[in-house]
Structure 1
């Protein structure tokens, strides 16, 4: 073999080895980045408690104005994050009932005759009711409908 052919073969071999090394490094970097992203997602999941851990603290009696009341209980037959909401939500007799609710990131979602609703944490100001304005621990369905604890 001539010196030129040998030099060319050596150059091609070095180029091929360099390309393989670079490809291997990129693959390891991608794998590392992917593993890091997976670890970050796991960390976020561990830091955010399931929604029902917050809403489980709402179990019990909440009082509104003029006889309005809300009793929140866990619906053990449906599993974690499921609730029964027994409520008198208006002054008329037909504005009462027991409704099935489910924990979400925003509160407890439930449906009643006047449509889909969301029970969420707030304060007396959030209820929109002047009689509850000074309260700090409340649950609100909508402005004008809220229930508080003392």
Structure 2
């Protein structure tokens, strides 16, 4: 009886190890598939390259950061009326838009319309990029 119990335990352990190695193998291919699915984020954000206009002289200029590679951008912007509210920031494409850091912390530049900017002067616009409500830039 003890020999049968030991044999069953051995079989269970062996089958468990075989299952783990299959999981690891299938997990590796899943992560490769996931990486392939995440790679093209920059295809959408590449369409944002160019100049965008805000209100009262505010602007955003999106350009590709060629040395950094696909999905990397330089964001030159005047984002406020104070003299120090202008700068150039490095951004990277994500599924949600372009992530970048500014003096007031991490930011996300995302697509939207004039209504999403929350600014009455841009309400009628359809092609806009928004950092947050009250900070948006649109194209005519």
- TM-score over 0.5 for the pair: yes
How many residues align? The count is 137
1:116 is the counterpart of 2:105? yes
- The alpha carbon displacement at 1:47 in A equals 1.6
Judging changes above 3 Å, is the alpha-carbon distance between structure 1 residues 20 and 76 closer, same or farther for their aligned structure 2 residues? Answer: same
Between 75-84 and 121-130, the greater mean CA deviation after superposition = 75-84
1:55–1:103 contact (8 Å) kept in structure 2:
no
Question: Do the aligned residues in 2 keep the contact of 1:72 with 1:85 (CA within 8 Å)?
Answer: yes
SS in 1 for 2:101: strand
Secondary structure of residue in 1 paired with 2:33 = helix
CA–CA separation in structure 2 for the residues paired with 1:31 and 1:116: 42
Tell me the C-alpha RMSD between the 2 structures. Answer: 2.7
Deviation, 1:86, is 2.3
In structure 2, distance between residues paired with 1:60 and 1:51: 18
Give TM-score, length-normalised by structure 1. Answer: 0.71
1:85 CA drift (Å): 2.1
Match of 1:22 in 2: 12
Distance 1:16 1:145, change over 3 A: closer
User: Following TM superposition, by how much is the alpha carbon of 1:61 offset from its aligned partner in structure 2, in angstroms?
Assistant: 1.0
Matches within 5 A, 1:80-91: 80-91=70-81
Aligned equivalent of 1:35, options 25, 50, 59: 25
Q: Residues 73 and 90 of structure 2 are in contact (CA less than 8 Å); yes or no, is this contact kept in structure 1?
A: yes
Q: What residue number does 1:4 align with? A: none
1:139 CA drift (Å): 1.0
Q: Which residue of 1 aligns with 2:115?
A: 125
Structure 2, unaligned runs of 5 or more: none
Q: Distance in 1 between matches of 2:79 and 2:4?
A: 80
- Point out where structure 1 has 5 or more consecutive residues left out of the alignment: 1-10
